[in-house]
Structure 1
Amino acid sequence: MSQSVDRALTLLGSLGDGPVTLEQAATSIGVHKSTALRLLRTLEEHGFVHRLSDRRYRLGGRVLSLAQAALREIDVRQVAAPYLASLHERCGCTVQLAVLQDDEVLYVDELAGRWSAAAGLPTRIGRRAPAAGTAIGRVLLAGLPEDGRAVEELSADLAAVRRRGWAAESAEHPEAVTCVAAPVAGSDRRAVAACAISAPRDRVSPAELVKLVPELLCTAEAISLAYGGSPTPRWCENRCGARPAARASRT
């Protein structure tokens, strides 16, 4: 990869954390301000960067349009959408869908709960998080074959998650949220995604959220069936809605 391309991509990555000044942009890629300015202007010309009135720079609309196009290619998101909407309507909490990419969780869909919406909290769609540090990530890691797991110290916890069929957020989670997550399985019974219910910890206690686990498991099962997976005892047609007439195509 050429040095200019590497610097431009690194710079775009740093803008994912929020607007930056020219000085901050230069520092993030270790170059002089004049070099950073040339890169920013080029990215701005192509719509990847937008210059604010206070002379800071943020991600441009082109990034969002490309992200949305990429998400459309992850077909499990489309398959899961009606089931997530139904779960969201029933529980009122934030509902999320994520996939595993390397050792990180990529959030591909989210419906904000009533507390999150009222507080104006930003969506997690498109954001990444260390898989080992989240309930939704541990569910996905638990679905990997033994030789595909990079986090050996979690082996006992992942085995418990696999037996139970769902995971809860740990007390060490950096954000003040409580969360439960369950896997979405494909035709080979391996997890292709995971869905979760979360809420602010000061609004919904972990014990209260655990009461929603049956709803979550049935939703995950319904998505799995629609995606082409095999039914398990978790299936509950009355709770999750009508069984799809035909399984979704993944071509």
Structure 2
Amino acid sequence: MSSSVQRALRILVELSSGPLTISELGRRLDVHRTTSLRLLRTLEEERFVRRSEDGRYRIGPLMAALAHEALEGLDLRAAAHEHLRALGASSGHTVHLAALDGDSIVYLDKVESRQSIRMYSYVGARAPLHATGVGKAILAHIDPQERGSLLGAPPYPGHTPNTRTDPGELAEDLARVVDRGWALDDFEHEEFIHCVAAPVRGATGRVEAAISVSAPEVTLDREDLLGLVDDLRATANAISNELGWSRT
């Protein structure tokens, strides 16, 4: 790659964090003012940057349009699939990708367990928000008013004796999800299956989906399930990065 192209790309990266003057860009790129000006004029002609009345440069309309098109073209399932497969291979258990659809979650992808006991879930299946790990990982990051609209009037439907049907108990659980960065389905949807789940963020930082590792208690006890949390969260972060999110 030519030095001019590299410098032009670096200008765009620097401007992505906010407007800058020619002098500021020159210092950051460690190039002479005339070099910065020459590159900026070319980028301005092509509408990749624009100059404000105060003399500072910022990202231009064409760059913004390209970024929007790139984000619109991202396929959540495609971005996540190889990461899900890797997590399934390392854990040996069922891995799900799910997203909000109406007032429930829908499974977008699934990696089967290597164990002889398989889960009956399938891509396209729906499940409740308040009683699943992936549902709670998403629900915890939704505005409380919208959350109430999605859940409906309490008490919430019970699926097992462990389902949190009381709004106060559920709110406490969701607060823990936000604090620690992951959710636990403690046999709340199915009596013999538990899971851990983590949120997946899009480019704006908004939670767009969640992933989980699930297993019957007979094949994975509580301690070993919780031992998968670090790998689970690392996978969720990797998928989020694929979607344009960056922890800053």
State the TM-score bracket (shorter-chain normalisation).
Answer: 0.5 to 0.7
Q: Is the radius of gyration larger for structure 1 or structure 2?
A: 2
Equivalent residue for 1:146, pick from 123, 144, 147: 144
Partner of 2:229: 213
Whether the aligned pair in 1 keeps the contact of 2:97 and 2:108 (CA below 8 Å) is yes
> What secondary structure sits across from 1:220 in the alignment?
helix
Aligned-partner Cα distance in 2 for 1:106–1:180: 17
**What are the within-5 Å matches in structure 2 for residues 100-179 of structure 1?**
100-115=100-115, 118-119=116-117, 121-150=119-148, 151=151, 152-153=167-168, 154-179=170-195
Aligned-partner Cα distance in 1 for 2:225–2:118: 22
Deviation for aligned residue 1:157: 1.4
Q: Percent identity?
A: 39
Aligned-partner Cα distance in 2 for 1:101–1:195: 15
Aligned length: 158
Name the aligned partner's letter for residue 104 of structure 1. S
Partner of 2:48: none
Name the aligned partner's letter for residue 186 of structure 1. G
1:13-41 Cα offsets, whole Å, 9 max, x none, are: xxxxxxxxxxxxxxxxxxxxxxxxxxxxx
TM-score normalized with structure 1 length: 0.59
Partner of 1:190: 206
Partner of 1:96: 96
Deviation for aligned residue 1:174: 2.5
Aligned-partner Cα distance in 1 for 2:102–2:142: 11
Aligned-partner Cα distance in 2 for 1:133–1:178: 11
**What are the within-5 Å matches in structure 2 for residues 231-242 of structure 1?**
231=247
CA-atom RMSD in angstroms: 1.8
Question: For structure 2, which runs of at least 5 residues remain unmatched after alignment?
Answer: 1-72, 152-166
Whether the aligned pair in 2 keeps the contact of 1:93 and 1:113 (CA below 8 Å) is yes
Name the aligned partner's letter for residue 141 of structure 1. L
